[in-house]
């Protein structure tokens, strides 16, 4: 599908062209995102230390045995950051994928049906979009009770409308194109028209929107845990770890800093990867 | 002889496309004198537009820089290798361009007056005067307007005014009339000629239409695959072309006097990069008089025997060709003309209005009539062309017949619940991510359920349309424009419809491709007994493809006649104006 969008076939020249379009920054981003995903999957197996057990003295600075030092309780900070990356990364990916799928389908139906259905769906989407989604999600978590699963649910409920809007606009744009008119004139039935003639055309924009959105999602999740609405205290969560030890920044800098640096790289790489993908999919 | 304004010597351009480098122009040499109009002709991909861009120092630079060799001297200034500042000032004062797409070339946020002011120094009087001389009689309204308020012809005239205001030495017109109807085109060609004569501006007129070239140019340069095939005065080259490619190009054109009882002569030559070696002649694979040394020794330009120009061919002494360069069979069309078959499409007193743009938010939208009581009926097996200027309502008529929009009033009855449409731009009418076979097979889906049977019939349809059946697995992007158009025709006829609707299917095509498409449509509609409605602004094409011609003006049918009777002295004023606006090479030669 991507191949078709750019008129590319499998040949070395096309592959080279694809890589050139991604550019070095996009390549760094994509490699970075892949590494982070692998690290997130393996997390606990990459370190001998238990992230939840007190294994050494508190406030040890980074050293050979404890690469990131130990925290205020004496837990290994490296192990905790790894587990934090795991939960933050996987949580944000699951919210994004859920929103992407739900939003795309709603947008597809709304855009392809048009008329009153489209109007109604889009006003509902408007309703969601005018609310500050992070704030509302915070309120929802406050009601549901803190916890990773609850924050995922709360964010997912308020995150899809944006994708529905992106998807619907792309579908409307495609709908007016001659090739869709031709498919309609050929008598392609509605569901088939949507899935084969419309949706593939909207996928590049949706993927780009999603990759650039990952960092927003990571921030939203971190804000939640920073405010104490994420996972409860003993669990390792990057935003929460930074928040809890922020007042020791000047003395034991590594305790708040290193989780924050990990967060930074998560956002940074996903943004680079999104930019690279945009270049390939849009061919600019 | 006066010094030439432009002297191009051994110009070579190598551009990178999709990571591959192609030699787009190869050792081109020519000169243009003040006040002279040189037409540059050739099929799509011959390097015509690249030549125009190179002269302005505006070659596309996507990723890797273009390699330019040779020299372009413009009024004493060397363009090749000049620093950007110098090129910028040259573009401001020496060379101006009129592009093909006038909307894309105007800034939608600025009024015409401000854009003219920006483009060349001059006071209000000069701006209004330039607009008037570009044929815009209500210059004050135009100057105040934003581009979207103007028609296509008005925009193109604004661009000519903008170009001429700077009093350039050289004007490059790149297919400026391709998107316009014949009447507007005739007016614009007149303006271009006047400018050359009055201002002594040298003009390079890039076009794929030899009839247009004949209407405007003094000399003609024929390009093939980035190389110059022939250059000389238009009259001489048209009378006795010395290069086999020019001969086939001139033979493939059609106009109001072309024999319509048989297929048009076409030539298959379509240049592809890397098809021939750099050493031999680029045309060798398509040439009927080529010998072995043609593929090993590159022909140099030399004096032509039959005219005062230059030709690059080893065998030009053997011209004219022993036989016409014809690829399709020239047997006359067979099959009786059907006149009393069942009625496939009938429109009775059809009216349609569109809301006009509101000038003020609080005004209620005015309704502008697009069709005013149109009656039309097409029998099965009959082909009817609807011609008219842009804005005459012909596209609206087609959309109503196709059921894509509904008429306000009147009766529309169509024998076929799903008439097929062939659109103007074949590339955008194919879905880029689905294979050709999938898209053609779509029309059989409800009836033919077996995949193997569908594949077989898709293969058949592709063959009908003159394509290799193995192309069913290709994606549209792997096909040329001509192949895309054939694939669309194959999709339209894979389940033969009762009614085939064509919406200006050839207006953006070069002559060989247009001729091939007209032949294909003529062949299929006869073979399958379809009723065909062909919408066009090109009377010559209408005459070739249709049995009956309907002339539409301001939303109403003003005349309806047999295609053979087009040139009868009894034609009404609207038709006569359309006929007169049609540029014709033969008419020029006869003068």
Kindly report the nearest CA distance between residue B511 and chain A, in angstroms.
24
Instruction: Provide the pLDDT confidence category of residue A170 given band limits of 50, 70 and 90.
Output: very high
Kindly report the nearest CA distance between residue B260 and chain A, in angstroms.
30
Do the Cβ atoms of A187 and B433 come within 8 Å?
no
Nearest chain A residue to B440 by CA distance is A186
Answer whether residue B331 shows pLDDT above 80.
Answer: no
Specify the pLDDT at position B551: 93
Tell me the chain A residues in contact with residue B404 when contact means C-beta distances shorter than 8 Å: 181, 185
Specify the pLDDT at position A8: 40
Tell me the chain B residues in contact with residue A3 when contact means C-beta distances shorter than 8 Å: 475
Considering chain B, what percentage of its residues have pLDDT values greater than 90? Answer: 20
Specify the pLDDT at position B205: 95
Residue A7 forms contact with B (CB below 8 Å)? yes
Three-state secondary-structure class, residue B315: coil
Across the interface, of B19, B433, B488, the residue whose CB is closest to A17 is B19
Residue B418 forms contact with A (CB below 8 Å)? yes
pLDDT in tens, B389-443: 877 888 889 989 988 788 898 888 888 888 888 888 888 889 988 999 999 998 8
Considering chain A, what percentage of its residues have pLDDT values greater than 90? Answer: 20
Distance of CA A204 to the CA centre of its chain: 16
Do the Cβ atoms of B432 and A7 come within 8 Å?
yes
Taking chain B, what is the end-to-end CA distance rounded to the nearest angstrom? 26
Phi, psi of B98 (to 5 degrees): -115, 115
Cβ atoms of A114 and A193 closer than 8 Å: no
The mean pLDDT of B350-378, rounded to a whole number, is 81
Write out the two tokens for B185: 């085109």
DSSP strand E in B518-574: where?
A: 531-536, 548-553, 556-562
Tell me the chain B residues in contact with residue A13 when contact means C-beta distances shorter than 8 Å: 18-20
Do the Cβ atoms of B18 and A183 come within 8 Å?
no
Three-state secondary-structure class, residue B110: coil
Q: What is the pTM of this model?
A: 0.76
Three-state SS string over A172-233 comes to HHHHCCHHHHHHHHCCCCHHHHHHHHHHHHHHHHHHHHHHHHHHHHHHHHHHHHHCCCCCCC
Phi, psi of B459 (to 5 degrees): -60, -45
CATH tag, B334-419+498-510+529-591: 3.40.50.300
The mean pLDDT of B233-238, rounded to a whole number, is 90
Average pLDDT, chain B: 84
Alpha-carbon distance values, B165 to B91, B98, B206 (Å) = 13, 13, 21
Burial of residue A165 (number of CB atoms within 10 Å: 0-12, 13-18, 19+): buried
Tell me the chain A residues in contact with residue B433 when contact means C-beta distances shorter than 8 Å: 1, 4-5, 200-201
Three-state secondary-structure class, residue B386: strand
Q: Where are the alpha helices (DSSP H) in B107-233?
A: 112-119, 124-133, 139-144, 152-165, 182-199, 210-216
Residue of A8, A185, A204 to mutate when probing chain B, most B C-beta within 10 A: A185
Cα(B398)–Cα(B413) distance, rounded to whole angstroms? 13
Tell me the chain B residues in contact with residue A197 when contact means C-beta distances shorter than 8 Å: 431, 434
Specify the pLDDT at position B11: 93
The mean pLDDT of B570-580, rounded to a whole number, is 87
Specify the pLDDT at position A4: 36
Do the Cβ atoms of A183 and B63 come within 8 Å?
no
The mean pLDDT of B16-39, rounded to a whole number, is 85
Do the Cβ atoms of A14 and B428 come within 8 Å?
no
Do the Cβ atoms of A188 and B442 come within 8 Å?
yes
Give the containing element (helix H, strand E) for B12: strand B6-17
Same fold, B1-94+169-217 and B334-419+498-510+529-591: yes
Order of strands across the sheet that contains B170-174: B95-98, B170-174, B202-206, B37-41, B219-224, B227-233, B310-311, B302-303
Residue A179 forms contact with B (CB below 8 Å)? yes
Q: Which of B263, B236, B264, B262 is nearest to B251 (CA)?
A: B264
Instruction: Provide the pLDDT confidence category of residue B218 given band limits of 50, 70 and 90.
Output: very high
Instruction: Provide the pLDDT confidence category of residue A66 given band limits of 50, 70 and 90.
Output: confident
Angle at B197 between CA B587 and CA B190, to 5 degrees: 45
Answer whether residue B57 shows pLDDT above 80.
Answer: yes
The mean pLDDT of B115-126, rounded to a whole number, is 85
Do the Cβ atoms of A178 and B423 come within 8 Å?
yes
Alpha-carbon distance values, B220 to B40, B234, B311, B380, B590 (Å) = 6, 5, 12, 44, 18
Residue B477 forms contact with A (CB below 8 Å)? yes
Residue B473 forms contact with A (CB below 8 Å)? no
Cα(A220)–Cα(A214) distance, rounded to whole angstroms? 10
Do the Cβ atoms of B431 and A20 come within 8 Å?
no
Across the interface, of A6, A14, A179, the residue whose CB is closest to B429 is A179
Do the Cβ atoms of B421 and A201 come within 8 Å?
no
Residue B18 forms contact with A (CB below 8 Å)? yes
Three-state SS string over B459-496 comes to HHHHHHCCCCHHHHHCCHHHCCHHHHHHHHHHHHHCCC
Cα(B569)–Cα(A273) distance, rounded to whole angstroms? 70
Specify the pLDDT at position A1: 32
The mean pLDDT of A11-32, rounded to a whole number, is 75
Do the Cβ atoms of A201 and B433 come within 8 Å?
yes
Beta carbons within 10 angstroms of residue B85's beta carbon? 8
Answer whether residue A280 shows pLDDT above 90.
Answer: no
Specify the pLDDT at position B24: 86
Residue A178 forms contact with B (CB below 8 Å)? yes
More reliable by pLDDT, A100 or B275: A100
The DSSP annotation for B322-355 comes to SS----S--PPPPSPPPSSS-EEEEEEEEEEEEE
Answer whether residue B8 shows pLDDT above 90.
Answer: yes
Specify the pLDDT at position B327: 47
Residue A12 forms contact with B (CB below 8 Å)? no
Specify the pLDDT at position B71: 92
Tell me the chain A residues in contact with residue B19 when contact means C-beta distances shorter than 8 Å: 13-14, 16-17, 20
Answer whether residue B587 shows pLDDT above 70.
Answer: yes
Question: Hey, which of A262-276, B93-107, B219-233, B463-477 has the most confident mean pLDDT?
Answer: B219-233
Cα(B464)–Cα(B456) distance, rounded to whole angstroms? 12
Answer whether residue B329 shows pLDDT above 70.
Answer: no
Cα(B268)–Cα(B328) distance, rounded to whole angstroms? 9
More reliable by pLDDT, B346 or B327: B346
Cα(B431)–Cα(B426) distance, rounded to whole angstroms? 10
Instruction: Provide the pLDDT confidence category of residue B185 given band limits of 50, 70 and 90.
Output: confident
CATH tag, B1-94+169-217: 3.40.50.300
Do the Cβ atoms of A196 and B434 come within 8 Å?
yes
Cα(B448)–Cα(B181) distance, rounded to whole angstroms? 42
pLDDT in tens, B515-562: 888 988 888 888 888 899 999 888 889 999 999 999 999 889 999 999
Specify the pLDDT at position A9: 44
Count the helix, strand and coil residues of chain B and give each as a percent rounded to the nearest 5. Answer: 35, 25, 45
Answer whether residue A224 shows pLDDT above 90.
Answer: no
Domain locations along chain B: 1-94+169-217, 102-167, 237-332, 334-419+498-510+529-591, 429-496
Answer whether residue B490 shows pLDDT above 80.
Answer: yes
Cβ neighbours of residue B387 under 8 Å, at least 6 residues apart?
B394, B536, B537, B538, B539, B542, B549, B550, B551, B552, B578
Do the Cβ atoms of B19 and A14 come within 8 Å?
yes
């Amino acid at each position: 599908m991507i191949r078709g969008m750019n008129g590319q076939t499998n040949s070395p020249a096309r592959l080279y062209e694809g890589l050139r379009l991604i550019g070095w920054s996009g390549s760094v981003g994509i490699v970075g995102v892949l590494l982070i995903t692998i690290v997130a999957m393996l997390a606990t197996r990459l370190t001998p230390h238990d992230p939840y057990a007190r294994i050494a003295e508190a406030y040890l600075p980074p050293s050979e045995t404890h690469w990131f030092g130990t925290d205020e309780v004496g837990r290994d900070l490296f192990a905790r950051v790894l587990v934090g990356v795991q939960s933050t990364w996987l949580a944000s990916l699951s919210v994004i994928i859920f929103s992407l799928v739900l939003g795309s389908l709603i947008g597809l139906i709304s855009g392809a049906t048009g008329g009153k259905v489209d109007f109604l769906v889009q006003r509902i989407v408007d309703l969601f979009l005018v609310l500050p989604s992070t704030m509302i999600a915070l309120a929802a978590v406050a009601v549901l009770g803190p916890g990773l699963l609850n924050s995922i649910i709360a964010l997912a409920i308020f995150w899809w409308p944006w994708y529905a809007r992106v998807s619907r606009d792309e579908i409307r744009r495609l709908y007016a194109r001659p090739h869709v008119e031709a498919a309609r004139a050929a008598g392609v039935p509605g569901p088939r028209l949507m899935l084969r003639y419309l949706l593939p055309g909207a996928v590049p924009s949706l993927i780009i929107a999603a990759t650039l959105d990952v960092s927003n999602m990571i921030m939203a999740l971190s804000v939640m845990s920073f405010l104490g609405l994420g996972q409860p205290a003993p669990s390792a969560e990057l935003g929460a770890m930074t928040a809890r030890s922020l007042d020791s920044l000047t003395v034991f800098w590594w305790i708040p800093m290193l989780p924050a640096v990990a967060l930074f790289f998560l956002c940074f790489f996903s943004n680079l990867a999104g930019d690279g993908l945009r270049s390939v999919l849009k061919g600019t | 002889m006066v010094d030439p304004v432009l002297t191009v010597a051994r110009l070579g351009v190598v551009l990178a496309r999709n990571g591959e480098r192609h030699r787009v122009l190869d050792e081109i040499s020519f000169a243009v004198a003040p006040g002279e109009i040189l037409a540059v002709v050739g099929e799509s991909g011959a390097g015509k537009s690249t030549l125009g861009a190179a002269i302005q120092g505006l070659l596309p630079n996507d990723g890797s820089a273009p390699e330019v060799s040779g020299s372009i001297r413009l009024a004493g200034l060397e363009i090749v290798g000049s620093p950007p500042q110098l090129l910028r000032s040259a573009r401001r004062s020496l060379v101006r361009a009129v592009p093909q797409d006038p909307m894309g070339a105007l800034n939608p946020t600025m009024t015409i007056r401000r854009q003219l002011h920006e483009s060349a120094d001059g006071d209000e009087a000069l701006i209004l005067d330039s607009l008037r001389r570009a044929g815009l009689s209500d210059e004050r309204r135009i100057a105040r307007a934003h581009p979207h308020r103007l028609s296509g012809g008005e925009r193109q005239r604004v661009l000519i005014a903008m170009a001429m205001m700077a009093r350039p030495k050289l004007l490059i017109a790149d297919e400026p009339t391709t998107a316009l109807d014949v009447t507007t085109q005739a007016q614009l060609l007149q303006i271009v000629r006047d400018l050359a004569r009055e201002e002594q501006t040298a003009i390079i007129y890039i076009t794929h239409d030899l009839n247009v070239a004949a209407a405007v140019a003094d000399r003609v340069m024929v390009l093939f695959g980035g190389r110059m095939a022939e250059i000389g005065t238009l009259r001489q080259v048209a009378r006795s072309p010395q290069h086999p490619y020019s001969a086939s190009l001139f033979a493939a054109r059609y106009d109001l006097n072309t024999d319509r009882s048989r297929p048009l002569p076409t030539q298959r030559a379509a240049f592809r990069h890397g098809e021939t070696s750099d050493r031999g002649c680029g045309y060798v694979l398509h040439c009927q008089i080529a010998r072995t040394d043609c593929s090993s020794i590159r022909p140099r330009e030399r004096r032509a025997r039959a005219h005062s120009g230059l030709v690059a061919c080893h065998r030009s002494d053997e011209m004219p060709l022993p036989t016409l360069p014809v690829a399709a069979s020239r047997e006359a069309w067979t099959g009786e003309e059907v006149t009393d078959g069942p009625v496939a499409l009938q429109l009775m007193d059809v009216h349609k209005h569109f809301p006009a743009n509101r000038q003020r938010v609080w005004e209620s939208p005015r309704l502008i009539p697009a069709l005013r009581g149109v009656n039309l009926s097409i029998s099965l097996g009959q082909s009817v062309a609807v011609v008219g200027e842009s804005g005459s309502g012909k596209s609206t008529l087609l959309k109503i017949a196709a059921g894509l929009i509904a008429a306000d009033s009147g009766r529309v009855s169509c024998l076929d619940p799903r008439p097929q449409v062939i659109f103007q731009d074949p590339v955008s009418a194919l879905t880029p991510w689905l294979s050709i076979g999938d898209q053609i097979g779509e029309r059989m889906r409800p009836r033919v359920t077996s995949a193997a049977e569908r594949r077989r019939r898709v293969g058949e349809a592709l063959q009908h349309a003159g394509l290799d059946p193995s192309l069913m697995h290709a994606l549209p992007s792997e096909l040329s424009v001509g192949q895309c158009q054939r694939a669309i025709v194959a999709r339209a006829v894979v389940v033969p419809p009762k009614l085939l609707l064509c919406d200006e299917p050839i207006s953006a095509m070069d002559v060989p491709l247009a001729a091939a498409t007209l032949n294909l449509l003529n062949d299929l509609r006869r073979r399958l007994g379809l009723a065909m409605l062909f919408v066009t602004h090109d009377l010559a094409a209408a005459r070739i493809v249709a049995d009956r011609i309907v002339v539409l003006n301001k939303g109403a049918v003003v005349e309806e006649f047999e295609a053979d009777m087009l040139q009868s002295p009894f034609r009404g004023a609207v038709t006569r104006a359309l006929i007169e606006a049609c540029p014709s090479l033969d008419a020029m030669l006869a003068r």
